[in-house]
Amino acid sequence: MSDPHANSFDVLILGGGSGGYAAAFRAAQLGLSVGLVEKDKLGGTCLHRGCIPTKALLHAGEVADAAREAEQFGVQATFNGVDMKAVNSYKDGVITKLYKGLQGLAKARKVTLIEGEGRLVAADTVEVSGTRYKGKNVVLATGSYSKSLPGLDVDGERVLTSEHALALDHVPASAVILGGGVIGCEFASAWKSFGVDVTIVEALPRLIAVEDEASSKALERAFRKRGIKFKTGKPFEKVERAGEGVKVTIQGGETIEAELLLVAVGRGPTTAGLGYEEQGVKMERGFVITDERLRTSVPGVYAVGDIVPGVQLAHRGFQQGIFVAEEIAGQHPQVIDEAGIPRVTYSEPEVASVGLNESKARELHGDKIEVIQYDLSGNGKSQILKTAGFVKLVRVKDGPVVGVHMVGARVSELIGEGQLIYNWEAFPGDVAPLVHMHPTQNEAIGEAFLALAGKPLHVH
């Protein structure tokens, strides 16, 4: 084994986000020496500028809504506004605690942290600040960045990315959000809870267009009810300064004025200028191309996370990191089924799914598809929470369930069971006999499977 204190390692990882640190920790756990290069902070975008801080904002928004709407539960409360300085303190406190935990784990695992911007200068070598480090195996895990559109200049003041939005020290009076995907809908939801006048502009025909059409429609209904405005099928044309704010022009010449514009049109792979192509790594549109075992075109070089084509989710990168570490260690792990990775939009209501949507299932299986949709209006806990939505199941006739789709408050906590159902190729008859605790929203899964198994109880 290589000397872990020298500049040579069994596994050398470029990037310390969800994929990179998971690969590092698992490889070290398996007895390999590990070097981990990170130019910023361990934990990457997800911990510091993505998943964790946005969910903290969303929870603060949920608390604001609970105070504002407390009377409907018989509770007397007064909502006096949102103190963004205090919200940011809460958010940053969560990040700091998790960051310290990661640092402690890296030290305990004896992972060598190499601070600085790394560049691949040979198939087995990464250069950081003039010093070269070698790895018998190299893992590329450099993550992603917030994309913009041609001709759209992000100034960090009136035209923001999600990173800028997370650092705002005040609640804007109004905002236009360019992009109705996950990031756009989550910020729209949080900001509306804070009292912001929000308008989403989306070029595609519906919000969260990657999800099942029924889920999109349910979210749009909920957003209308909450007063979140959105314009779908309306591509962005230009943005101009207008006094102390911005004026956004969309297709057809319609204009929307607001205090700021949030650009949430997706994330691009962080690969430019890092030496990948020069060393023979196959690339397409900035993404690193791998096989199903996450091997690049260069022997001994692997890639994980957002730089690999597919859904850009922290938990995907995390699992890929574990997979690569085990692959390098010779454990021959099971290939990850991309469709079996859960997807969640943490808005109010939440949208969660795993597997195929109805449209894709019909495309693959034709008329051999059965669908059941159980409305949360029949679920006791959902009524207690005053949430609306559904559990929708898609199955192949006389075969397994191939898609699970949910809309409603807190359904992100339910999709784990959906993941097991999909990945274990469960039949309705396998799940229907399972006992689901009462009263819980989890019962809705049980009810949906009873209906799909031909013995509906609380559905017509």
DSSP 8-state symbol, 412? G
DSSP structure string for 364-408? HHTT-EEEEEEEGGG-HHHHHHT---EEEEEEETTS-EEEEEEEE
Instruction: Report yes or no: 388 and 373 within 8 Å, Cβ to Cβ.
Output: no
DSSP structure string for 234-287? --EEEEEEETTEEEEEETTS-EEEESEEEE-S-EEE--TTSSTGGGT--EETTE
Helix axes 84-108, 18-29, angle to 10 degrees: 30
- The total of other beta-carbon atoms located within 10 Å of residue 170's CB is 10
* CA dist 19 → 30, 271, 308 (Å): 17, 15, 11
Catalytic residue among 405, 438, 458, 460: 438
Instruction: Report yes or no: 417 and 436 within 8 Å, Cβ to Cβ.
Output: no
460 labelled catalytic: no
Instruction: Say if strands 267-269 and 131-140 run parallel, antiparallel, or are unpaired.
Output: unpaired
Nearest to 46 by CA among 25, 20, 28, 24: 20
Nearest to 375 by CA among 332, 408, 399: 408
Catalytic residue IDs:
438
